[in-house]
Amino acid sequence: MAKMEVEVNGIRFRNPVLTAAGPNVMDAEHMIGAFKGGVGGIVSKTVSVRPAHDRRPTIRKTVCRGLVNCETWSELSFEQMIEELLKVKESVDVPLIVSIGYSPDDMRKLAPVIEREVQPDAIEFSTHYTGKDIEPLLAVASALRESVELPIWMKISPNTPNIEELAVQASKIVDGFVAINSFGPVLDFDIETFEPVLGSDYGQGWLSGQAILPIALRIVYQIASVQDKPVIGVGGIEKGKDAIKFFMVGASAVQICSAAIRYGHNIYGKVASEIEKWLDEHGYSSIDEIRNLYREGLKKRRVFENVPVMFVDEEKCTGCTLCVRACMHGALYMENKVAKVIPENCIGCGYCQDMCNFDAMYLVDRT
């Protein structure tokens, strides 16, 4: 059986699946629920100096198994959240990370109290409402660094334009990164009533869930490529294989929010056991062994100097016609129940290959 424990900043997690800040961890009951659901570590809902007041509705479904939300931070006061966190500390034996936001002053006010009274394993700070410029983000990180001894994790917003520069600069201050927060602002509404689905100003919100997974993968890859501090991946994880992708682009652990909202607390343990199963089936003995494998994939992939052409392995082709229907370039046709290529029409885009369920298609150099 593959080893599922991971260590981040010296904190040992029984498995690499943590909660991400959100309503799934809004209070002690939910955080304890996550623990019972098999989570490897708990990150709390973000708390700030003032409780949030979010206009309802706040969480709705959207396309691509995504969610849109207009939740800001915790609606509990800081004092109430401290009480909830103390209950969690008493009831669970997995690491606890407290999420806070947003300004340097907020860090100075909140962090020392959390360190002293809750004694969590780390503090995560959200940059979601701190703006896009690097300097204010670094100022928050520095204020937190000066306020506590605990490891500090910077949660990256996907809306930050220069992720690599931010990661390089911030890595001199923080102990780790969490990427990504929800994406946006975005908009969705009901075409029958023309009304927004969310209660925010003009119905805008933040996108999360499966719809943002590729954005998160890109950002985790960028952060892990330019600096050495650990990165925790978050965005759209619903299955073990989603999490495996995050490890391969450089994540040391992962977090889940939207899938826990949709499917409940057991999602954490389910994803953890799917990761373990995948590692076992592929002969890997730990998460460490698959971390950064994507870098190898990048190096070894075939780079075509000229426009390649699709090749159909006729032994494997079942004549299903899916590829023919998918080709926008008129480069495929059926002959004797086998797909054939018209090389002059093929532009080597590769799309038909994904339609083939039998590995019968791949790109080759033109002869």
Ligand X SMILES: Cc1cc2nc3c(=O)[nH]c(=O)nc-3n(C[C@H](O)[C@H](O)[C@H](O)COP(=O)(O)O)c2cc1C
Q: Which residues make up the interface to ligand X (CB under 6 A)?
A: 20-23, 45-46, 59, 67, 69, 71, 73, 99, 126, 128, 155, 181-182, 208-209, 212, 234-237, 256-259
Query: Which is nearer to ligand X, 127 or 227 (by Cβ)?
Result: 127
CB 92 within 8 A of CB 35: yes
Determine how many CB atoms are found less than 10 A away from the CB of residue 97: 26
| Close Cβ partners of 155 (under 8 Å, ≥ 6 residues apart) | 21, 99, 124, 125, 126, 127, 128, 177, 178, 179, 181
CB of 283 to ligand X, least distance (A): 29
CA–CA separation, 120 vs 350, rounded Å?
49
CB of 39 to ligand X, least distance (A): 13
Helix (H, G, I), strand (E, B) or coil at 362: strand
Q: 56, 59, 28, 33: which is closest to 44 by C-alpha?
A: 28
Query: Which is nearer to ligand X, 237 or 317 (by Cβ)?
Result: 237
Query: Which is nearer to ligand X, 2 or 198 (by Cβ)?
Result: 198
CB of 47 to ligand X, least distance (A): 8
CB of 212 to ligand X, least distance (A): 6
| Both structure tokens of 283 | 């002969």
CB of 9 to ligand X, least distance (A): 18
Query: Which is nearer to ligand X, 11 or 256 (by Cβ)?
Result: 256
Query: Which is nearer to ligand X, 96 or 257 (by Cβ)?
Result: 257
CB of 45 to ligand X, least distance (A): 5
Query: Which is nearer to ligand X, 35 or 183 (by Cβ)?
Result: 183
CA–CA separation, 242 vs 219, rounded Å?
15
CB 294 within 8 A of CB 351: no
Cβ-based burial of 167 (10 A; exposed 0-12, middle 13-18, buried ≥19): buried
